[in-house]
Amino acid sequence: MKLIKLAAAVLNQTPLDWTGNRDRIAAAIADARTAGASVLCLPELCITGYGCEDAFHSPDVADRAWQILADLVPLTHGMVVSFGLPVFFQKGLFNTACLAVDGHIAGFSAKRFLAGDGIHYEPRWFKPWPARVQAEITGPDGRSFPCGDLLFEIGGVRLGFEICEDAWVADRPGISLAARGVDIILNPSASHFAFAKQQIRQRFVMEGSRAFGASYVYANLLGNESGRAIFDGEAMIASGGQLLAATERFSYHDHLVVCAQADISLSRTNHARMASYRPNVAEADLGRIRLPFSWPDASPEPNNLPVPAWELSQDLKEEEFARAVPLALFDYLRKSRSRGFVISLSGGADSAAVTVLARLMIDAALAHLGPDGLRRKLSHIPALQSATSAADFAAALITTAYQASANSGPVTRLAAAAVATATGASHFEFDIAPLIAGYHAIIERGIGRPLSWETDDIALQNIQARVRSPGIWMLANLSGALLLSTSNRSEAAVGYATMDGDTSGGLAPISGIDKAWLRSWLRWMESQGPSGYAPFPALNAVNAQAPTAELRPASSHQTDEDDLMPYPLLDAIERAAIRDKQSPLDVWKLMQFHFPQYSPTQLAAWVERFFSLWCRNQWKRERYAPGFHVDDANLDPKTWCRFPILSGGFQLELSELRAAVAVAALSPS
């Protein structure tokens, strides 16, 4: 029996925050040491931060990373610790994991497979390291170290790396490591959160530990590291196909460390029993770095794997959303040093959802940190220093305003007030009708005619949304708060928003969420809410309404779906057309299958409307405030979904659709 205590740490890092990143790493090493761990895996690129973008190409960034590494390596006496940092070699930049053993650098394992889809642009900065290749790199002090496809033999125990994306591919490095007799695989990762993605990660960690006959240690980042991506902060340790330990996800702490004891002798025996295992004897020493190390004697101890109740919920997507976005808001608030949130609360679903998410942030932060810890984390906000209760924090951090025009009604006003009261926000009601009338008068004098709904519909709608912008920005500026935009994904797809009006804001928390699901989540929040937190019955005043921009006179009975199409259909068209890249004709055929309640002619009209609006409004999507990524499909043109601002507008494709509809109309049913 050879027992080794393994540890994985999650870190809430910030790109280029050299001292902060160093101190959090040092704290994680100290906690792992206190827990008696011999091996600690830290997240990918934890020294620089993962989201440095084009700053990775700065030689100064790589040099400073080496300096921070030099500060941290002496802290590893008596331990084996991996650090993530970029390394320049032969005019290429490589994403590496440095393994420090007993206070000395043993070598650098380089990432072989770079993430280049979705929000990931690693090939823009890094080069993939070829398999089965080793080299010598030289540090700033002139010392040389092995780098590449390495296998470390430390005190008789073999250890290797899969770095994040390496584990997501079919030809993962673990296959070669297993054939070379690896005992422990470390996976430093920066794997962003997406709905249900955690289940995939758990599968490859557990299956890797079984198939490779090794103990598997996985460490991820935590929180909103650099603005858009959210990291759920799950670290996992597995052996023999069984998950031994994992961290709590969506923590508000700077770091967490989880430990588990692995029996290396048992793993070797079980792997030897596998008839399918074929050791690569010829390459057993390929890239091997042999180092002495005295593994401490250890007695068997239980591995605890508590699973929060919400992780087992049938409403996992709702639970994850209620935790991921509040954590992202919290990190954005403190890292941007904003002094709270301001929200234009219309009484509709979108602004209500953003306000509730802000309150969930406060409740979760208090649950994790307590009042003292929350005040320390947000010490840059003077108004919080006397806050003790959730109500105190909410009143100081969340400011809402209902801005009424002549077309606003009592239903939305009362709904806005109800949501503000339920969340504890500081709430205002402003009358913007005189401002709108003033703009009408200016324009009418200028063009020499009166404005009317019959001839000037869009302009009259848009001026109301735009007049709301200066006042709400001013309210945010008065306190140095962050104005939250309430635009959702469905609106972004078709440009159903007024630029410099309801899109105003520095951050768009729900821009990655489609309207149909968001409304479902609000109903869930009204009646049930996330495990451990109270629901918001006041949302009934919002959920009972049909979504409306409320920009036309009340007599028109304006609703979003009358202006556009049913939201579930719009979202289904968006997934087929944009995510799956289907043509208008194929989308129409698909929608007939999924929405048989509508006629083929009506569906064709809606499909054509979607494609036309999609092309016409790319410029709007280019200008939206940054938002959070919460699934593996997105419309953000800066990090996910590229589309030309000017295009042919699917004119040929839409003519083919119209021809097919005409033929179908002539065919007997």
CATH 3.40.50.620 in the chain is located at: 312-558, 565-669
Mean pLDDT of the chain: 96
pLDDT the model gives residue 241: 96
Q: Which residues contact 185 (CB under 8 A, 6 or more apart)?
A: 159, 160, 161, 162, 174, 177, 208, 209, 212, 214, 215, 216, 217
pLDDT the model gives residue 555: 82
DSSP codes, 97-157: EEEEETTEEEEEEE-SS---STT--HHHH--PPPTT-EEEEE-TTS-EEEEES-EEEETTE
CA pair distance 245, 7, nearest whole angstrom:
9
In this structure, whether the domain defined by 312-558 belongs to CATH 3.40.50.620 is answered with yes
CATH 3.60.110.10 in the chain is located at: 3-298
CB–CB of 79/159 below 8 Å? no
pLDDT the model gives residue 507: 98
Long-range contacts (CB closer than 8 Å, 24 or more residues apart) made by 602-608: 603/569, 604/657, 604/658, 604/661, 606/565, 606/569, 606/570, 606/573, 607/573, 607/657, 608/584, 608/654, 608/657, 608/658
pLDDT the model gives residue 626: 96
pLDDT the model gives residue 177: 97
**Domain range 565-669, CATH class:** alpha beta
What are the angstrom distances between the C-alpha of 636 and each of 196, 304, 335, 492, 553?
Answer: 21, 40, 22, 9, 33
pLDDT the model gives residue 282: 84
- First and final C-alpha spacing in the chain: 74
CB–CB of 189/182 below 8 Å? no
23-33 pLDDT, tens digit each: 999 999 999 99
Please tell me the pTM assigned to this model.
Answer: 0.96
Region 3-298: CATH code: 3.60.110.10
CA pair distance 231, 222, nearest whole angstrom:
5
CB–CB of 67/37 below 8 Å? no
pLDDT the model gives residue 342: 98
CA 541 to chain centre: 30
Residue of 277, 257, 264 whose CA lies nearest to 11 = 257
What are the angstrom distances between the C-alpha of 624 and each of 271, 327, 352, 491, 563?
Answer: 53, 21, 19, 11, 21
pLDDT the model gives residue 669: 59
Residues of the chain with pLDDT under 50: none
124-136 pLDDT, tens digit each: 999 999 999 999 9
Using only the alpha carbons of the chain, give its radius of gyration.
28
48-75 pLDDT, tens digit each: 999 999 999 999 999 999 999 999 999 9
